[in-house]
Amino acid sequence: MARKVAVIGAGVSGLISLKCCVEEGLEPTCFERTEDIGGLWRFKEHVEDGRASIYHSVITNTSKEMSCFSDFPMPEDFPNFLHNSKLLEYFRIFAKKFDLLKYIQFQTTVLSVKKLPDFPSSGQWEVVTQSHGQERREVFDAVMVCSGHHIIPNIPLDSFPGIEKFKGQYFHSRQYKHPVGFEGKRILVIGIGNSAADIAAELSKKAAQVFISTRHGSWVMSRISEDGYPWDMVFHTRFSSMLRNVLPRTVVKWMTEQQLNQWFNHENYGLEPQNKYLMKEPILNDDLPSRILYGAIKVKPRIKALTETAAIFEDDTVEEDIDVIVFATGYTFSFPFLEDSLVSVENNMVSLYKFMFPPQLEKPTLACIGLIQPLGSIFPTVELQARWVTRVFKGLCSLPSKNTMMADIINRNEKRTDLFGKSQSQILQTNYVDYLDELALEIGAKPDIASLLFKDPKLAVKLYFGPCNSYQYRLVGPGKWEGARNAIFTQKQRILKPLKTRALKHSSRFPSPFLLKVLGLFTLIVAFFFHFQWF
């Protein structure tokens, strides 16, 4: 059984891995190359090599109730979508509460992780670290790789003929910090992910003109959903997840399109995705449509070529006098401290069982945490990953055979391509509720709604029709938390608290999207119809 665990990185994945190790009685040591916790969420004015870099205005696109860890709700007065500094504050309170800092060796970079010669029997690793110029070797029983995947910029200059002639300034979105210095400029943002949308919207308030060039388009959603509740509390319910799984794909596609076009017609705004039926990660941006409506942002197609000062697009339109190009073209990642054969990365493709375990290992003593892009919040996702992994390390859960794992990887990849498409930005994409349930099932923490219907019907209804938050996975099984039920019933209070700065006497329930309700009713009618046919 593994005891000593090396955790690489003290971002959110590393912090939760530490907590899970401690809860399982393992002995973790976390190596963090920088001087502090928080990873991506610790904003710095300057870009640092080897660490994710964000702009000053980044606000979470997943809400606080859907992003908190399962036994540690965010403080009531925290806003529903958090500025990066506020999220970092939450991680600091979390690390303090669970006394995690004592396990972290700061300013210590992991240089290599290698199997010991007797690995097939011991499952042990030699970890080489460097701190203040000093190298150190240590043996560990298991390794959790939590080094992040938004560090290496994907800047595909080959796809932009003429870039070498361009006389203006160009840089990757990771370089962008503030809109200062861009006043009066004509700016071209390439790509249409969340970085592109945030940066274009922010710059368009200062610049003379902003253009967004997109090759495939994207759906854009507001953070604000029905009744003003955060989008993810309405979108990620078990009920809607079930509907998306059981209804015919054509119906789901039609419903999704109708819903996404309710706010504004994406075709009219030039944003409609080329393949509008993919579940590709949407953009969460409340400003983008209005900035387009004001003419401050113009949406353009794929770039055909660049000249010294202009961009020529595939529809042969030309935009002259471009001063700045921002490549918001996403990220790629690598694990320089691992041997290639362990976790090989090709065009962002990795072969890991359930996004975590290399299937070919003789012993399952190494796992990647956070190498995933769920349609919902990553925080509860990495928590369940770490809960499962630590139980595998302890020998309390086991993995299937190598062949079964390989078959699962292939099957999952086919489904992913079918649902989310082939784009590099979607390679780590996964469904939210399904994936959380899958992991929870592995550790026995998935709530049994059918039996709860008799024992605690009020809770069962909340679990099924309400937001699928992390507390749901602390009701039963290992790590059961007595406060979980109460946290589920008090979430509305925590959502409304920061809004009630001028309290009025109204109350409202969590809505489930109207169309889903109608379709739910329709499904019931169809089910009844077939029921009577069978008799």
> Contact residues for ligand NAP (CB under 6 A)?
58-61, 150, 156, 159, 173, 190-196, 198, 215-216, 281, 328-330, 373, 423-425
Cβ atoms within 10 A of the Cβ of 31, count? 27
Give the integer Cα–Cα distance in Å for 271 and 273: 6
Task: Restricting to residues 99-138, name those near ligand FAD by CB under 6 A.
Answer: 109-110
Given a contact cutoff of 8 angstroms between Cβ atoms, the answer to whether 192 and 272 are in contact is no
- Binding string, residues 376-395; x marks residues near ligand FAD by CB under 6 A: -xxx----------------
Taking the least distance from each CB to ligand FAD, the nearer of 8 and 519 is 8
- Binding string, residues 161-200; x marks residues near ligand FAD by CB under 6 A: ----------------------------------------
Position of minimal CB gap to ligand NAP: 193
Dump strand ranges (E) for 363-488: 366-368, 373-374, 429-430
Q: What is the distance of C-alpha 56 from the center of its chain?
A: 19
> Is residue 9 close enough to count as binding ligand FAD by CB under 6 A?
yes
**Which amino acid, 172?**
H
7, 24, 39, 170: which one contacts ligand FAD (CB under 6 A)?
Answer: 39
The secondary structure of 492-528, three-state, reads: HHHHHHHHHHHCCCCCCCCCCCHHHHHHHHHHHHHHH
Among ligand NAP, ligand FAD, none, partner that 192 touches (CB below 5 to 8 angstroms by kind):
ligand NAP
Shortest distance in whole angstroms from residue 36 CB to ligand FAD? 8
> Is residue 61 close enough to count as binding ligand FAD by CB under 6 A?
yes
Among ligand FAD, ligand NAP, none, partner that 173 touches (CB below 5 to 8 angstroms by kind):
ligand NAP
Among ligand NAP, ligand FAD, none, partner that 146 touches (CB below 5 to 8 angstroms by kind):
ligand FAD
Among ligand FAD, ligand NAP, none, partner that 17 touches (CB below 5 to 8 angstroms by kind):
none
Taking the least distance from each CB to ligand NAP, the nearer of 34 and 60 is 60
6, 7, 21, 54: which one contacts ligand FAD (CB under 6 A)?
Answer: 54
Q: Please give the DSSP secondary-structure letter assigned to residue 446.
A: S
3-class state of residue 439 by DSSP? helix
Taking the least distance from each CB to ligand NAP, the nearer of 65 and 442 is 65
Give the integer Cα–Cα distance in Å for 424 and 159: 14
Shortest distance in whole angstroms from residue 50 CB to ligand NAP? 17
> Is residue 31 close enough to count as binding ligand FAD by CB under 6 A?
yes
11, 191, 193, 467: which one contacts ligand FAD (CB under 6 A)?
Answer: 11
Residues 6+ apart with CB under 8 A from 49: none
19, 20, 41, 289: which one contacts ligand FAD (CB under 6 A)?
Answer: 41
Among ligand FAD, ligand NAP, none, partner that 159 touches (CB below 5 to 8 angstroms by kind):
ligand NAP
Among ligand FAD, ligand NAP, none, partner that 52 touches (CB below 5 to 8 angstroms by kind):
ligand FAD
Give kind and range of the element (H or E) at residue 258: helix 249-263
Dump strand ranges (E) for 242-346: 283-284, 297-300, 303-306, 311-313, 318-319, 324-327, 331-332
Give the integer Cα–Cα distance in Å for 60 and 65: 12
Tokens standing for 474?
Answer: 């602390």
> Is residue 283 close enough to count as binding ligand FAD by CB under 6 A?
no
Tokens standing for 231?
Answer: 């989008």
Taking the least distance from each CB to ligand NAP, the nearer of 38 and 193 is 193
Taking the least distance from each CB to ligand FAD, the nearer of 353 and 379 is 379
**Which amino acid, 439?**
L
Alpha helices by DSSP H, listed for 426-483, are: 433-443, 449-455, 457-465
Tokens standing for 132?
Answer: 């203040």
> Is residue 459 close enough to count as binding ligand FAD by CB under 6 A?
no
Give the integer Cα–Cα distance in Å for 116 and 139: 8
